[in-house]
Amino acid sequence: MKPKHFAYPYVAWMAVFVVVPVILIIIYAFTTSDGALTLSNFSNMGAFTSVFVRSFWLAIVSTFICIIIGYPVAFILSREAKRVQRIMIMIIMLPMWMNFLLRTYAWMSILENTGLLNRLLVFFGLPRLQIINTSAAVVIGMVYNFLPFMILPIYSVIVKIDRSLFEAAQDLGANSVSVFRRVVFPLSLPGVLSGVTMVFVPAVSTFVISQLLGGGKSMLLGDLIEIQFLGSAYNPHLGSAISLVMMLIVFAFMYVMNRFGEGDEMAVV
């Protein structure tokens, strides 16, 4: 048996569970319930412009917060001893071993009006906060669930940077800030771009977080698509059109990120 024959089961799997569903989505998006060709499914999407804007805005905000938190964590972690790095990586990955739904339910119990957060505020004599069922709660859920996908790519890039580059920059008179700005950050950009992609793509398409933490008040694209296929407003043709447009936008975003990443690699070389 030739080595390429071992790839046949994977090709068959991809064809059945990836290619075929995408073809069905394309067919549904351009047809009516009677099977006639139409573009009305795309023109009807104008009624959901606010959902598109909200989804991309919350995904951008969540991604930005993940960068602000994740980059310092990854940088500090990369400068620790190997033993400490292994322990910290395990701690960062530990929540990911728990079911995604359970992690989101846990945040419901923390953020609800009688939850742990408000109990602590009342204990210290502070006013309660109304966070649950708001966009802020959705962002918190996104950041919590997707933050490891920002930390790990950045860490994996920074930890591989040759330490002699730092020493050479310092020998040339650069202080710590200049070393970070001129050496560390430019070389870590591929990891940042990978992290941005890994956070933004699931954030813009999530629906469990917005349903549980947003209380249905912050409908996102994932919720809208689910309603078209499983909800009372059953319209798989419109849902397919929305899914197709979202896929194209995500692919365009990933292409742009990859192009930036290639540019950074060329700059480093």
Per-residue pLDDT of 208-250, as tens digits, reads 899 899 987 778 999 999 889 887 778 999 999 999 999 998 8
Taking 70 as the threshold, does the pLDDT of residue 263 lie above it? no
User: Band of the pLDDT at 62, cuts 50, 70, 90?
Assistant: very high
Question: Domains in the chain, ordered, with CATH?
Answer: 50-227+244-268 (1.10.3720.10)
CA distances from 30 to 17, 85, 227, 234 (A): 21, 51, 19, 17
Interval 15-49: pLDDT, tens: 888 899 999 999 999 999 888 999 999 999 989 99
Taking 60 as the threshold, does the pLDDT of residue 268 lie above it? no
Q: What is the pLDDT of residue 66?
A: 97
Would you say the pTM of this structure is higher than 0.75?
yes
Interval 156-165: pLDDT, tens: 999 998 888 8
Q: Are 113 and 132 in contact (CB under 8 A)?
A: yes
Helix (H) or strand (E) run with residue 13 in it? helix 8-14
* CA angle (172 as vertex; 168, 178 as ends), nearest 5: 85
User: Band of the pLDDT at 171, cuts 50, 70, 90?
Assistant: confident
Per-chain mean pLDDT for the chain: 89
Give the percent of the chain with pLDDT over 70.
96
Q: Are 37 and 27 in contact (CB under 8 A)?
A: no
* Cβ-proximal residues to 267 (8 Å cutoff; 6+ apart), any chain: 186
User: Band of the pLDDT at 95, cuts 50, 70, 90?
Assistant: confident
Q: What is the pLDDT of residue 154?
A: 96
